[in-house]
Structure 1
């Protein structure tokens, strides 16, 4: 389920948007009246959708978009006159007066994008850090010297052993290096 933050400078606007979203099945985590409150809640959550107005007492929507964690999408609901230069990069804009079906359809689209983004992130191969790479290289060198393997054979051995044991290659490399006699 996608976390939703609502932030409007006028609390009654925030409550109204929150009620519409809840009635349509969205999980509204918080309603904020300032940009600082929205940023604080967003950093606690890490990802989600921020539904907000164009201006707050402490910042404008563009500044808010720049400061949000990477996992957040932004939906700005405001008068067209407040967005003369267009919405900030990556943000979606809905013009006031707001039609409920437009809000719900836009939220559905943004929630699907959030789910797809999480799936892509989970399915992306994890990058090895330098220490892990160094351990794997050391284990390969040891296998090449001790067992007279080529680099490719040593790599395959570590890879197969890690798959058989259900552990990562660097954990298998640690195990191999720990078996030194």
Structure 2
């Protein structure tokens, strides 16, 4: 779940928006009245959603967007007084606020964050050639010394990887080290 920062010049309005979001299951970590406060929160967080008005006490939404890390998304609440251009990281919502529209926008933004997280995790879990070679060598050792089929050797590695909490590569490396220490058990 993404962390949300609400930034409205009138603190009471910001608190009302926070309470609405919290009641609907969102994680709101702060209510701010200035851009500097938002940037302080952003320094601590990896990513998040900023829900703000076009104009804060110390800066306009565009200045704030320029200072925020790329991993933050903005939902700008607009009255039409200031033109707001939607971009890849900026969405808009017209005032007066309709509760359902706000909740739908925030849910949509959270879904994007979740998709990006899964995409990043998928990239991290891809093995490089060296790791694939270690796994293949461990399977070959198991097949030779324990007389397993390739599928059995792979399941063996997966099982012990899950039980130990190590990656498949780490488990394969441990098995290779153990097999080198002992003579063949035929």
**TM-score normalised according to structure 1 size:** 0.69
Judged with a 3 Å threshold, the aligned counterparts in structure 2 of structure 1 residues 53 and 85 are, in CA distance, closer, same or farther, namely closer
Q: What does the per-residue CA deviation read over 1:41-86, in whole Å, with 9 as the maximum and x for residues that have no partner?
A: 012111121111111122111111122122211111121121x252
Contact 1:162-1:168 at 8 Å conserved across structures: no
1:98 corresponding residue in structure 2: 97
Question: Which structure 2 segments of 5+ residues have no match?
Answer: 140-156, 162-166, 174-186
Q: Secondary structure at the match of 1:81?
A: coil
- What value does the CA root-mean-square deviation take over the aligned residues? 3.0
Q: Which residue of 2 aligns with 1:160?
A: 136
Q: Which runs of 5+ in 1 are unaligned?
A: 129-135, 137-154, 173-181
Report the equivalent of 1:22.
22
Are 2:49 and 1:73 aligned?
no
Q: Is the CA contact 2:8–2:33 (under 8 Å) kept in the aligned structure 1?
A: yes
TM-score scaled by structure 2? 0.67
Aligned to 1:48: 48
Q: Distance in 1 between matches of 2:96 and 2:17?
A: 12
Matches within 5 A, 1:91-170: 91-125=90-124, 157-158=133-134, 160-161=136-137, 166=167
**Secondary structure in 2 matching 1:43:** helix
Q: Distance in 2 between matches of 1:32 and 1:89?
A: 23
The aligned length equals 150
Pair 1:85–1:78, CA change in 2 (3 A): closer
Instruction: Give the deviation of 1:160 after TM superposition.
Output: 3.1
Match of 2:81, SS state, is helix
